[in-house]
Every structure is written in structure tokens, then in C-alpha cells.
Amino acid sequence: MEKYLVPAKSSAEENHRKPTRLYRWKRSLTELNGRLESKYRHDLSVLLLQSYSQIGSFPHLYHTTGGGGDAAIPCQTHMNSSGLDSDLTRQFAINKQGISFLEFDKKGIYLVSVTKSGCLTVHDFESLYCQANGSFPCFGEDESKHVLHISLGRQLDVVRWNLANQDEVACTSMKSNEVQIFDIGYISSEPVEVLSTKHAVTVHGSDIRKGLTDIAFTSESRLIASDTNGGVNVWDRRMSTLPCLELTSNSRSTLNSIKLNVENQMVFGAGRHGIVYMWDLRGGRAASAFQIHKEVYHPPVTSWKLSSMLERIGSLKAQSDIVSKEVHSIDFDPSCPYQLAFHLDDGWSGILDIYNFQATHVHCPPPAWLNGSSTDLLCLRKPSWLPTYSIYVVGSSADNGIHLLDFYPDSSSPCHVDYSPIENVERQSGVNGRNKQNRFIPLSEGVTACAAHPLNGTIIAGTKEGDGEMNFEPLIGMLTVGVDGDPVSTVDFEEIKGRECLEKRDEGRHPCALFRGFGRINMDRRFA
């Protein structure tokens, strides 16, 4: 019977035997649970950044109805960009070029934009997308597809959707103390409601002029707006058209941007002095408020000076002379509610961790003067977050284009202050390892505002007139909704859904076959 037995291997042979390396099949958990791990999603973001490309352009050559009601005349933005104004107003119009703000509604059906020349436009996004992809052969944007187009004749700096009532948009200007609310369901150039700040005077009796810089909605009836006097005004539309509450900062300098946290309980604001303030809308102890001339004012709960926080980063301080810079914009990461992104006047961007009170990410592009670019101090840049993947989209301060910044909340992010290139190479040695890096997408115009589609990740970039030159022909290769000279460029991406990674069984397929998108996919153009 011994001849039928298999001889046992010696211990020496077992020691020399190489262990079989088993690779974990990551997609199994995704397919079973229908969810993606955060780190796995971060790996996939490399494919997302590589997939963006420019697809079309639409100049803001729109018209409005004349005084007789029938004749169509060019709108104010059209006249400014095309040089149709008189010689007396043309020089003034040059400073009023550009898209100042963009925003999608919650479902991504409509896109609202405002221009420095005073045009408020609500676009049907699907019609724009189809025209950009060549579904509708035309030479320009179909104005009949506009949901709303109003030329208000005065500068507009910000516009927001009412999150609780998506039929309403609110807009305002740094040159006005009023918030105008329009209902897109009505074909009217008149606002359905106008909110204004309280009249204020100095100790010497002179008027204090307040312009409004940013807007936020907490509910259908509650609206918040920051002003040029260092304050935040809170309206309850059920009570009055005047503010029911005023939040104050430590200075009288302009607050350029405000943002609410995910619970709509804390207000964050930042502006000219490079300081981020935080207020609590829930109130608190009576001692937290002070009273002057029977008016109750509420100081911030706390504040952070961004230059001081950046100085704590040893490697950054050793290479740069860190000084306080104006904050253009702040915004919370929709994928990580404790990450507050900031964008500075010199083009720097970063992340403030509101839980640990420290700067965790920073992106420092070369200054504009290094390549001879001019800096427009009158123009505030308004970045945006992609709906997933913690990617921050910001217009470049030195070049014509946008930066796609990886602000993933981990040291694997190339913008993280503890990022190690050596460790990153070790991570790439795995089966699904990919080189994580930021991306710059060049455009033909300087970018002033960005907006990302809440569902499919399409990016709309509003641009300004570059170097005083005005172009009158549609730009080829971009989708814009703005002025030619002031276009709104679209960089398109169909968000990765379903089959989200390149496994061995997919190596022979085109990468675009893994993307499930909104509208038509042109593989040759995307991965040329």
C-alpha cells in the first residue's frame, strides 16, 4: 500500500516554496454593495481628470425686446462686447466685461448666469449640451430656448438658486444694497420681491453705502447676504424686506464670499483681509450680542487668519514669503463636509479643516507677473467643486484656463501638506495604482467663474475679455453661454458610473466605453 501514498515534502522544500500572491478583486464589493470605498473612488479620480475636454462655445450675442414690444435690440452685454456702444461709454464698458457668476439648479436642468453688464440669463442646459455635441447643426445658441433673459442695465456680481424653491433666483451687486428675486415661471423683467439693507450712518452723520457681495439661502423664506461693510445680513421674507438680523465682523472691510455648513446652522465668511469668520445662527448666550442705538449686533464665534495658518506649514514657509491676501471665494466640499476650500487673490487655493482648525491642502501656482500676465484686481474668481471625488475647479490667475485640483482628504492627495512623492510611487506599484496629479486645461480666455453639473460633472467656465481685445466670432472647441470676449466655456465630462475601472478584462476596450454619460459620447474627440 505504501506505493500508493504520496511522499511528504521536506520542511526545507516548504521553506523555499514561493507563496502565491492573491490580489483583492475590488470590484466585487462595489458590485455587491452598490457603493464605492472612498480610497477606491480616489483612485478612479485619475481617470476622471484625464477625461475632460473642450466641446463648444456660445457667445452672449443676445437680444431684448425694444420699447415697442416687437423689435429686438442687442442687450447691454451684447453691445459692450461687440463695441456697439457710443465712444463715451465704450471705455466704461471695457471694465464691465465678463461672466461674473454661474450656478446650476439642484437637478442640473437649468443654468443661471449673470454678467458685469447687467444681464441675467437662465439657460436650458440640455439644449446647450446637444448643440455643443453637434446634435443640432446650428451656428449659434437658439435664444428661443432661454428660460429667462433680462438686461437690468446695472452691474450684477452674484446669482443663486433658492434651494427650497427652484423657481426662484436671487441676484445682487457690489454697487447695490438690494437683493432682487425673480420667478422664472413668470415672463417678466420685474422682480417678484426686492430685499434691501437697513439705512446706516457714521458718527458724523454721513451715509454708509453698502454693496452686497454674495447670497445664500437657508430655507424658502430665509436669505443671507454679505456686504462691503464687513457684515452679513439675514432676512426673513415672511416678516419684512429689511434684515431681521445683522452679523458683524471685526472690521469694516468687504466680505467677498459666504457659505453655510451642511446643517445650515453656521455661517462662514471671508474677504479682503484674508480672514475667515464663523457665526452661529442658533444664537447663544445673551453676552454674545451687543447693542448700539437699540440695534443688536452679533460678532463672530471665532475667526482664522489664513496667512497664519499657512505659515504653520514648514515646507511652504521655507520656500515662500507668506503674506495676507484677499480671499476671493470659500466653499464646502460636497463629498467631505468639514473641508472648507478657499481661493486667494494671488491664485493660491487650499483647504481649511474646520474640525482641527488647520490648513491641510494648498496649491500654489506661479504668480501672474512671472509670465508677464496682467492681474485684474476688479475681477473676483469664483471656483466650484465637482459633486464627487473632492476635486476643486478654479480659474487660473496667470493663464487662460482652469485648474482641476485633487483635494482628497488624505495624504495621498498631491495637494496635501503631508504628501510624499516616494510613498505615492509605492502606492502606484499595486495592481490599480495610478499616478495622482492635478490637471490644467488651457482655454482661449481668462476664467472668472466655474460651475459643475450636480449629476454628470460637466464643468461650465465663465470667461472674461482678455487683454482688452474683443473677439466677435464663436470660439471653436468650447461650449460657452456667455459673451464672445465674455464667453462661458464648457468642459465636458460624463461622470464615471457603473463600470468605473480598467480591469484586465477591459484592457482591450476604449476607455470611453467605461463611461456612462449625459448625451452623446464622441470617443475620438475625447481621447485623441
pLDDT, position 512: 31
Residue type, 140: G
Q: Say yes or no: 174 and 281 in one domain.
A: yes
pLDDT, position 282: 85
Tell me how far apart the alpha carbons of residues 509 and 511 are, in angstroms, rounded to a whole number.
6
Domain boundary among 348, 379, 410: 379
Q: Say yes or no: 272 and 205 in one domain.
A: yes
Going by pLDDT thresholds of 50, 70 and 90, the confidence category of residue 506 is very low
Tell me how far apart the alpha carbons of residues 362 and 405 are, in angstroms, rounded to a whole number.
10
pLDDT over 50 (residue 86): no
pLDDT in tens, 470-486: 222 222 223 333 333 34
Q: Say yes or no: 238 and 131 in one domain.
A: no
Mean per-residue pLDDT, 129-138: 63
Q: Say yes or no: 139 and 199 in one domain.
A: no
Q: Say yes or no: 90 and 54 in one domain.
A: yes
Residue 227 lies in a domain: yes
Burial degree of 395 (CB within 10 A; 0-12, 13-18, 19+): buried
Tally the domains of the chain: 2
Structural domain that includes position 84: 27-149+392-528
Compare 286 and 5 and report the one with higher pLDDT.
5
Residue 280 lies in a domain: yes
DSSP bridge partners of 124:
110
Task: Let me know: does 270 contact 276? Beta carbons within 8 Å.
Answer: yes
Tell me how far apart the alpha carbons of residues 151 and 400 are, in angstroms, rounded to a whole number.
27
Q: Say yes or no: 37 and 123 in one domain.
A: yes
All three cell numbers of 240, joined, read 419684512
Measured between its terminal Cα atoms, the distance across the chain in Å is: 69
All three cell numbers of 13, joined, read 522544500
- Per the listing, cell 453676552 goes with 287
Range with the poorest average pLDDT among 15-19, 37-41, 47-51: 15-19
pLDDT, position 379: 79
For residue 351, give Cα distances in angstroms to 92, 219, 321, 395: 37, 27, 19, 16
pLDDT over 60 (residue 502): no
Compare 143 and 497 and report the one with higher pLDDT.
143
Tell me how far apart the alpha carbons of residues 127 and 56 are, in angstroms, rounded to a whole number.
13
pLDDT in tens, 340-398: 999 999 999 999 999 999 999 999 998 877 776 665 555 799 999 999 889 999 999 88
% residues pLDDT > 70 (the chain): 63
245-248 and 295-298: which strand pairing? parallel
DSSP run (H or E) holding 247: strand 245-248
All three cell numbers of 487, joined, read 464667453
Compare 72 and 321 and report the one with higher pLDDT.
321
pLDDT over 60 (residue 409): yes
Largest CA distance in the chain: 115
Range with the poorest average pLDDT among 307-311, 392-396, 432-436: 432-436
DSSP state of 186: S
pLDDT over 80 (residue 131): no
Domain boundary among 379, 406, 432: 379
Neighbours of 410 (CB within 10 A): 14
Computed over every residue of the chain, the mean pLDDT equals 76
Task: Let me know: does 343 contact 335? Beta carbons within 8 Å.
Answer: no
Phi, psi (rounded to 5 degrees) for 440? -115, 130
Q: Say yes or no: 186 and 326 in one domain.
A: yes
Compare 420 and 6 and report the one with higher pLDDT.
420
Tell me how far apart the alpha carbons of residues 319 and 331 are, in angstroms, rounded to a whole number.
27
Residue 19 lies in a domain: no
Residue type, 261: N
Going by pLDDT thresholds of 50, 70 and 90, the confidence category of residue 117 is confident
Going by pLDDT thresholds of 50, 70 and 90, the confidence category of residue 150 is confident
Tell me how far apart the alpha carbons of residues 94 and 18 are, in angstroms, rounded to a whole number.
72
pLDDT over 70 (residue 278): yes
Collapsing DSSP to helix, strand or coil, 79 comes out as: helix
Residue 225 lies in a domain: yes
Collapsing DSSP to helix, strand or coil, 334 comes out as: coil
Q: Say yes or no: 220 and 299 in one domain.
A: yes
Hey, CA dihedral for 276, 281, 284, 287, is it positive or negative?
positive
Mean per-residue pLDDT, 110-125: 90
Radius of gyration of the chain from its Cα atoms, rounded to whole angstroms: 26
Residue 1 lies in a domain: no
Residue 10 lies in a domain: no
The strand order across the sheet containing 99-104 reads: 99-104, 110-115, 119-124, 148-151
pLDDT, position 166: 92
Hey, CA dihedral for 153, 484, 465, 369, is it positive or negative?
positive
pLDDT, position 518: 31
pLDDT, position 133: 65
All three cell numbers of 186, joined, read 413668470
Task: Let me know: does 480 contact 55? Beta carbons within 8 Å.
Answer: no
Q: Say yes or no: 330 and 200 in one domain.
A: yes
pLDDT in tens, 322-337: 999 999 999 999 999 9
Range with the poorest average pLDDT among 130-139, 372-381, 397-406: 130-139
pLDDT over 50 (residue 34): yes
All three cell numbers of 509, joined, read 476596450
Q: What's the CATH code of the domain at 171?
A: 2.130.10.10
Which of 502, 485, 494, 413 lies closest to 456, judged by CA?
Answer: 494
Phi, psi (rounded to 5 degrees) for 144? -70, -15
Range with the poorest average pLDDT among 146-155, 413-422, 428-437: 428-437
pLDDT in tens, 180-190: 999 998 878 89
pLDDT over 60 (residue 259): yes
Mean per-residue pLDDT, 10-21: 62
All three cell numbers of 432, joined, read 490599480
Q: Say yes or no: 313 and 280 in one domain.
A: yes
pLDDT over 90 (residue 291): no
% residues pLDDT > 90 (the chain): 41
pLDDT, position 525: 29
Range with the poorest average pLDDT among 96-100, 228-232, 290-294, 436-440: 290-294
Q: Say yes or no: 81 and 201 in one domain.
A: no
Domain boundary among 329, 346, 379: 379
Tell me how far apart the alpha carbons of residues 267 and 406 are, in angstroms, rounded to a whole number.
25
pLDDT over 70 (residue 420): yes
Going by pLDDT thresholds of 50, 70 and 90, the confidence category of residue 493 is very low
Burial 69-99 (b: 16+ CB within 10 A, else e): eeeeebbbbbbbbbeebeeeeeeebeebbbb
pLDDT in tens, 210-240: 899 999 999 888 999 999 999 999 999 999 9
Going by pLDDT thresholds of 50, 70 and 90, the confidence category of residue 436 is confident
pLDDT over 50 (residue 92): no
Phi, psi (rounded to 5 degrees) for 377? -70, -15
Range with the poorest average pLDDT among 10-19, 196-205, 262-271, 504-513: 504-513
Q: Say yes or no: 259 and 361 in one domain.
A: yes
Residue 22 lies in a domain: no
Residue 3 lies in a domain: no
Going by pLDDT thresholds of 50, 70 and 90, the confidence category of residue 427 is low
DSSP H helical ranges for 271-328: 306-311, 314-319
pLDDT, position 385: 97
